[in-house]
Amino acid sequence: MFKALSSDSITFYLIDEENLPEVCSMFQKFPDSGYMLKELEESYRPEFEDGARVKYGFYSTLGGELAGLSLLGVSSRKGRRGYTGADTLSHMRGRGVAPRSKPHLFYLAFEVLGLNRVETGCYVSNTSSQRSIEKTAGFELEGVMREYGLNPQGDFEDEYRYAILRRDWLKLYDKSRVELII
């Protein structure tokens, strides 16, 4: 199993049960640590189905400084589909961390895991996430899911849904720019 993915001054470190306490302590010194620790616990812990890992959570660094969390999940092995998500520390927002980190996740999805499709989404009110997704080469808006989930205020909200296919990744990205660290 690999330990990290690196490209473009961003490194993703795989979160596992062994390093989880250390990762939690890394996020405790920031103003938005409560939110980040909640997300880490709820969304970024490793998960397995039938002995195979289906959730790959990472903590990321930009130029050696802790930047946030990123995720690749496998929603269907048979259908070769996955999904991605990210949470960036508030003081690191606006530096392009989320869109610049997608090549790491796409490499893992398409090259390592053999997926064919990766999806993502955001609530329609989350304009910063929408901009970040739309800056990511290859993601195409596929539609709006009406009242898809509960937003932080507890109201049902529509969600924009985007996806990238393996064939688009092959055209748009240079896989040799991502280093797999064992």
Domain-by-domain residue ranges, the chain? 4-119+167-181
pLDDT of residue 11: 96
Q: Give the pLDDT band (50/70/90) at residue 1.
A: confident
- In whole angstroms, give the CA distance from residue 159 to residue 139: 15
- In whole angstroms, give the CA distance from residue 104 to residue 89: 18
Read off the pLDDT of each residue in 91-103 and give the average, rounded to a whole number: 88
pLDDT of residue 8: 86
Read off the pLDDT of each residue in 49-76 and give the average, rounded to a whole number: 96
- In whole angstroms, give the CA distance from residue 21 to residue 130: 32
- Give the predicted TM-score (pTM) of the model: 0.92
Q: Which of 138, 27, 145, 148 is nearest to 90 (CA)?
A: 27
pLDDT of residue 96: 84
Q: What is the 3-state secondary structure (H, E, C) of 116-169?
A: CEEEEEEECCCHHHHHHHHHCCCCEEEEEEEEEEECCCCCEEEEEEEEEEHHHH
Q: In this model, does residue 100 exceed pLDDT 90?
A: no
Residue 168 C-beta-side C-alpha neighbours within 13 Å? 14
List phi, psi (to 5°) of 123. -65, 150
Share of the chain above pLDDT 70, in %: 100
Q: Give the pLDDT band (50/70/90) at residue 153.
A: very high
pLDDT of residue 98: 84
The mean pLDDT value of the chain amounts to 95
Homologous superfamily, domain 4-119+167-181: Gcn5-related N-acetyltransferase (GNAT) (3.40.630.30)
